[in-house]
């Protein structure tokens, strides 16, 4: 944690709202993107981000600095995001017309309508597979795969052991492999390949 962040935290703890506003601006995009990956909804992500910062401000006096501020804040975001998932979890069928592709996949489609349709179908299937994961597994996939956070930090954010994170990733991969096998088999050519590589990994960043 840098000196600038420490200074802002101390000032915010003393009631300096402008200092807390600076903290919000520093972390708001990362918080929003984590909330979006957890909930799959832009509207829900906005609500989660706002509620997370409100909770962080109220709890700031209890932040002792033993963990990184980023880690402490993300733990709040994950908890608020999972609560939001429990309240508004969707099980609706999304039409292919509603599916949007990330830039990396959109470029692959070129001007081929058939390829575009195939990619949209894959994205919808992956979205539904993520929605079907238990909340703790989904949160772990978001942090480890989408955010690229090491197991040790993810364990701190999720308030569990590194072994639990490893087990959850194993379980999530098993479930995603079973649900998305037709895509994974097409993309991997060896047993040591990451099951979430290739087009499937790119599609994980698709949001509602």
SS3 63: coil
Give me the CATH code for the 93-208 domain, please: 1.10.10.10
Instruction: For residue 206, name the pLDDT band (cuts at 50, 70, 90).
Output: very low
Q: Are 114 and 165 in contact (CB under 8 A)?
A: no
Q: Are 86 and 136 in contact (CB under 8 A)?
A: no
Q: Are 157 and 139 in contact (CB under 8 A)?
A: no
Q: What is the pLDDT of residue 106?
A: 65
Q: What is the pLDDT of residue 109?
A: 67
pLDDT in tens, 7-27: 888 898 888 889 999 999 999
| Average of per-residue pLDDT values in the chain | 80
The ranges assigned to domains in the chain are 1-89, 93-208
Q: What is the pLDDT of residue 165?
A: 95
Mean pLDDT over 34-49 rounds to 88
- As to burial, measured by CB atoms within 10 angstroms (0-12 exposed, 13-18 middle, 19+ buried), residue 65 is exposed
Give the Cα separation of 99 and 174 in Å (integer): 25
Note if the pTM is more than 0.85: no
pLDDT in tens, 69-118: 888 999 999 999 988 887 776 545 556 656 666 666 666 666 778 888 88
pLDDT in tens, 119-167: 778 877 887 888 888 889 989 988 998 888 999 999 999 989 999 999 9
Instruction: For residue 62, name the pLDDT band (cuts at 50, 70, 90).
Output: confident
Ramachandran category for residue 65: left, alpha or beta (phi over 0 → left; psi -120 to 50 → alpha): left
CA dihedral 155, 42, 33, 10 (to 10 degrees): -90
Q: Are 40 and 131 in contact (CB under 8 A)?
A: yes
Q: What stretches of the chain show up as alpha helix (H) in DSSP?
A: 3-13, 17-39, 42-59, 69-88, 103-109, 113-132, 135-141, 151-158, 162-187, 198-203
Q: Are 122 and 199 in contact (CB under 8 A)?
A: yes
Q: Which of the listed CATH numbers 1.10.150.530, 1.10.1740.10, 1.10.150.120, 2.30.110.10 matches domain 1-89?
A: 1.10.1740.10
Stronger pLDDT, 146 or 53, i.e. the higher one: 53
Give every CB contact of residue 3 below 8 A, 6+ residues apart in sequence: none
Q: Are 157 and 74 in contact (CB under 8 A)?
A: yes
Tokens of 90: 């969707």
Give the Cα separation of 37 and 89 in Å (integer): 13
Mean pLDDT over 32-54 rounds to 90
Q: What is the pLDDT of residue 122?
A: 81
Given a cut of 90, whether residue 48 has pLDDT beyond it is yes
Q: What is the pLDDT of residue 194?
A: 43
């Amino acid at each position: 944690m840098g000196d600038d962040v420490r200074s802002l935290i101390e000032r915010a703890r003393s009631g300096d709202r402008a200092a807390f506003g600076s903290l919000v601006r520093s972390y708001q995009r990362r918080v929003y993107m984590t909330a979006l990956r957890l909930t799959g909804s832009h509207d829900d992500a906005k609500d989660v981000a706002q509620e997370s910062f409100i909770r962080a401000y109220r709890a700031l006096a209890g932040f002792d600095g033993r963990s990184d501020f980023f880690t402490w804040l993300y733990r709040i975001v994950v908890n608020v995001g999972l609560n939001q998932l429990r309240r508004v979890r969707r099980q609706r069928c999304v039409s292919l017309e509603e599916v949007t592709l990330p830039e990396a996949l959109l470029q692959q489609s070129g001007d081929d309508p058939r390829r575009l349709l195939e990619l949209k179908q894959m994205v919808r299937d992956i979205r539904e597979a993520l929605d079907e994961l238990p909340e703790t597994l989904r949160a772990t996939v978001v942090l480890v795969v989408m955010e690229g956070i090491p197991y040790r930090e993810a364990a701190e954010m999720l308030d569990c052991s590194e072994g639990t994170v490893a087990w959850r990733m194993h379980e999530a991969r098993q479930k995603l492999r079973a649900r998305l096998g037709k895509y994974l088999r097409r993309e991997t050519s060896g047993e040591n390949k990451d099951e979430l590589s290739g087009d499937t990994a790119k599609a994980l960043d698709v949001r509602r």
